[in-house]
Amino acid sequence: MTTEEVPTQDPTRGLESAVAVVGMSGRFPGAPDLEAYWANLRDGVCSLSTFTEKELLADGADTAELRNPAYVAVQGRLPDADRFEADLFGFGRTEAAALDPQHRVLLETAWAALEDAGHAPLNAPPRTGVYVGGSPTEHALAAGTDPALAASIGALQVRILTDREFLAPWISYRLGLDGPSMTVQTACSTSLTAVHLAVQALLLGECDTALAGGVALGSVRRQGYVHYQGGIFSPDGRCRPFDEKAAGTVPGSGVGVLVLRRLEDALADGDPVRAVIRGTAVTNDGSGKVGFTAPGVDQQTAAITEAWAAAGLEPSAAQYVEAHGTGTELGDRIELEAASAAFAGGAGIGLGSVKSNIGHADAAAGAAALIKTILMLEHATLAPTVDVTSPVAALRQSPLRLVTEAEQWPSRTGLPRLAGVTSVGIGGTNVHVVVQEAPEPRPRPRAAGQPVVLPLSARTEPQLAVLAERLAERLRAADAPSLAAVAHTLRTGRVAMPVRAYVVAGEPQEAAERLTELAGGRLGTTADALGEAWLRGEEVAWPVLDGEVRRVRLPTYPFAGESHGALTLRQPPAQASPEPEAPDPSPPGPAGELEATVARLVIEALDLDGAAGLAQTYFEAGGDSLTAVHLAGRLRDEVGIDVPIQLFLEPVTLKDMTTRIVGMKQSGDADGALDALLSEFEAES
């Protein structure tokens, strides 16, 4: 590998304030996972989708709009973004359908990122913080104007399930994370600002682990955009950052989450360090620009220089800069001027922008850029910026050079590989992050061929087979980790699920063969007492492993969600769901009709599968305080009875609760004290 000579700088200076990236997950146009994302980046693939008129009309496009000669039928799209494994996260069907698809994909990505770090999502380290942000969505806008949805689950619940301000709290709640939980909004720089805040929280000791990133899923529909002269969107559906022909950006989408820990903690605990964040900085242009939406030179430069100062390094140490690079004439010109000033002491520094590949992912753009840069560091390869044929003339006098073909990223004497990542938000919030390649893992003893038990689990048999085959593929690789490390990660870094299996092996190749047999349904494994206890669903006290027990990166959970749809402004509101199965007929007459009505309201509020669901208690059926208030309100409005909240808290079946409510109505023994509480919630919603 090529080695560069560089001026001597202390490579350890600033490491006491360094933060490790120990896990990542993401989905971007053309890439359902980061392996596919890297392959597309490395190969210079443009993953923007061009749609036919038939596809656009099927997704609700207006015929007149499509006839507009300025309409561009291109988008950076996430396919299957409406699919979600709701049961895994404890959502019923009605809740899952109301939950914004942006929330759904972010929840799954956060789960996968924790697994990539070797931590079980429902048993993550204590004091784990969440710092994420998202974009405005069509689903949220449509939900806010859908009276049927509000009548079904309550206006406040609609807001909680759709508003992006609840992105972080939902992750904390569903994954059991008890550190700070903050939804961040700085427009296009949102996700990189989230990374900055997470880094600062770690260094201040506010948390010990942090999830940081963002999501942009404006709509799950296939749709294009209208190009306006002088606007920010490209006239031909291509984004050409820092090219003489650059004329605008293209709407994109994506989701990316990184798991961060203090470097010293990650190394001590044997975490799989993927990269190191050396420094971060955030500035705002203030009034130092031509307009509110325009970028400014001075504070972009300041963000870069401050981040490198925080890293204890000169900007000239950079080998590559992943730019915001929107492909707009004004934005590119100002960013290049700012970066050229900041990196003036360097020469031949690579420059690129992932927006040429996937479009502008808005709130997720910074995460897409940072993840791209980390993947390049891991593979020691600079990925090309695509669709660029004539780099702007200003680059000739700049320390930066546009990378237009994949090339080796050379190592160098005295310094690790180093890069900067910039993100700029409308409104002027500029972020820069300094990232370096991961250090070599500390040597640990390896056990010599001793058989170990590898436990696997999933929610279904097909998912277990997929997981087994993916793990087999990982263990067949030349860089396969030790089986002790694999066993340690599977035992401590995965959630135990109901469908289980195990294999016993002494070497990676043997384990791969056993796992392939398992995936094909023909496993004849060596019996093991603890393995059999695992199969029975017992909580196993696994023995301490000999040799290497670091966490290692393994294939993450294979989600198998179903479509829960998405609300749209382009079609009439979705028809109401079929009326739930009615409970068993009661004796005719007023009492029977009343019981049937109460049972129907309970079934609808808790999204039960008909009358059979009434055999559960309120909390077994997934009820919570907000649902209780909503159900009590419907009982008051439709049946004319004030039900005390305490009734929902009692450990009785819903069938018995229904009977008691009917009895209260008939006897007039109802508590009207709920009115004040109901009024309070209705006022908030």
* % of the chain with per-residue pLDDT over 90: 74
Note the Cα 290 to chain centre separation in Å. Answer: 35
pLDDT at 87 over 80: yes
In the chain, which segments carry CATH 3.30.70.3290? 452-549
Q: Look at the block and give the residue holding tokens 């909580």.
A: 539
Chain centroid to Cα 486, Å, comes to 25
In the chain, count H helices and then E strands.
Answer: 24, 23
H/E element, 98:
helix 93-98
Q: Is the predicted pLDDT of residue 113 greater than 80, yes or no?
A: yes
SS3 592: helix
Of 70-74, 194-198, 469-473, 527-531, the range with the lowest mean pLDDT is 527-531
Whole-angstrom CA distances from 579 to 474, 532, 576, 607 are 47, 44, 8, 11
Give the integer Cα–Cα distance in Å for 171 and 321: 31
- What's the CA gap between 24 and 40, in Å, rounded? 17
pLDDT at 676: 39
**Res 623 pLDDT > 90:** no
The maximal CA–CA distance of the chain, rounded, in angstroms, is: 92
Element (H, E) at 187: none
Question: What's the CA gap between 34 and 77, in Å, rounded?
Answer: 16
CB neighbourhood size of 289 (10 A):
17
Return the pLDDT at 572. 40
| Tens digit of each residue's pLDDT (9 = 90 or more) over 405-433 | 999 999 999 899 999 999 999 999 999 99
pLDDT of residue 525: 63
Distance of CA 677 to the CA centre of its chain: 35
Amino acid identity of 182? M
CA dist 202 and 427 (Å) reads: 27
Q: Which amino acid is at 338?
A: A
In the chain, residues under CATH classification 1.10.1200.10 are 590-684
Q: Which of 67-81, 200-214, 255-269, 534-548 has the lowest mean pLDDT?
A: 534-548
Higher pLDDT: 668 or 307? It is 307
- At how many degrees (to 10) do helices 508-519 and 461-476 cross? 150
Q: Does 680 score more than 50 pLDDT?
A: no
pLDDT over 50 (residue 190) = yes
pLDDT number for residue 10: 52
Q: Read off the pLDDT band of 548 (50, 70, 90).
A: low
Q: How far apart are CA 195 and CA 214, in angstroms?
A: 9
Q: Can you give the pLDDT at residue 669?
A: 55
Q: If you average pLDDT over every residue of the chain, what do you get?
A: 90
Q: How confident is the model at residue 173 (pLDDT cuts 50, 70, 90)?
A: very high
23-53 tens-digit pLDDT: 999 999 999 999 999 999 999 999 999 999 9
When pLDDT is averaged across residues 561-583 and rounded to a whole number, the result is: 65
Residue 483 to residue 594: CA distance in whole angstroms: 62
Q: What is the DSSP code string of 441-477?
A: PPP-----S--EEEEEEESSHHHHHHHHHHHHHHHHS
Cβ-based neighbours of 358, under 8 Å, separated by 6 or more: 28, 29, 30, 47, 48, 76, 252, 254, 368
- Predicted confidence (pLDDT) at residue 365 exceeds the cutoff of 50: yes
Cα Rg for the chain, rounded, in angstroms? 27
The superfamily CATH assigns to domain 590-684 is ACP-like (1.10.1200.10)
Predicted confidence (pLDDT) at residue 589 exceeds the cutoff of 60: no
CB atoms within 10 A of CB 95: 19
- In whole angstroms, give the CA distance from residue 455 to residue 493: 11
Q: What is the pLDDT of residues 285-335, one digit of tens each?
A: 999 998 998 999 999 999 999 999 999 999 999 999 999 999 999 999 999
**Amino acid at position 573, single letter:** P
SS (H, E, C) 244-306: CCCCCECECCEEEEEEEEEHHHHHHHCCCCCEEEEEEEEEECCCCCCCCCCCCHHHHHHHHHH
Q: What is the mean pLDDT of residues 625-634?
A: 76
CB count within 10 Å of CB 528 equals: 17
Question: How far is it, in rounded angstroms, from Cα 148 to Cα 154?
Answer: 9
For position 195, what pLDDT does the model report?
99
The confidence score (pLDDT) of residue 576 equals: 44
Res. 587: pLDDT tops 60? no
Residues of the chain with pLDDT > 70, as a percent, come to 90
Please report which confidence band the pLDDT of residue 647 belongs to, taking 50, 70 and 90 as the band edges: confident
Higher pLDDT, 493 or 642: 493
Domain with CATH 3.40.47.10 in the chain: 3-7+20-437
Give Cα separations from 442 to 118, 269, 271, 298, 550 (angstroms). 17, 11, 11, 42, 10
**Between these two residues, 144 and 449, which has the higher pLDDT value?**
144
* Contact assessment for residue 470 and residue 563, using Cβ atoms and an 8 Å cutoff: no
- Say which range, 77-86, 158-167, 635-644, has the weakest mean pLDDT: 635-644
**Third-level CATH fold of 3-7+20-437:** Peroxisomal Thiolase; Chain A, domain 1 (3.40.47)
pLDDT tens-digit profile of 448-486?
668 999 999 999 999 999 999 999 999 999 999 999 999
pLDDT of residue 685: 38
* 3-class SS of residue 418: strand
Q: Band the pLDDT of 660: cuts 50, 70, 90.
A: confident
pLDDT at 620: 81
In the predicted structure, residue 505 carries a pLDDT above the cut 80: yes
Helix (H, G, I), strand (E, B) or coil at 105: helix
The class that CATH gives domain 452-549 is: alpha beta
Band of pLDDT at residue 446, cut at 50, 70 and 90: low
Asked whether residue 489 carries a pLDDT value surpassing 90, the answer given is yes
pLDDT, mean of residues 350-376:
99
Structure tokens at 494: 């995965």
Q: Taking the alpha carbons of 40, 43, 44, 46 in that order, is the dihedral positive or negative?
A: negative
3-class secondary structure for 436-447?
A: EECCCCCCCCCC
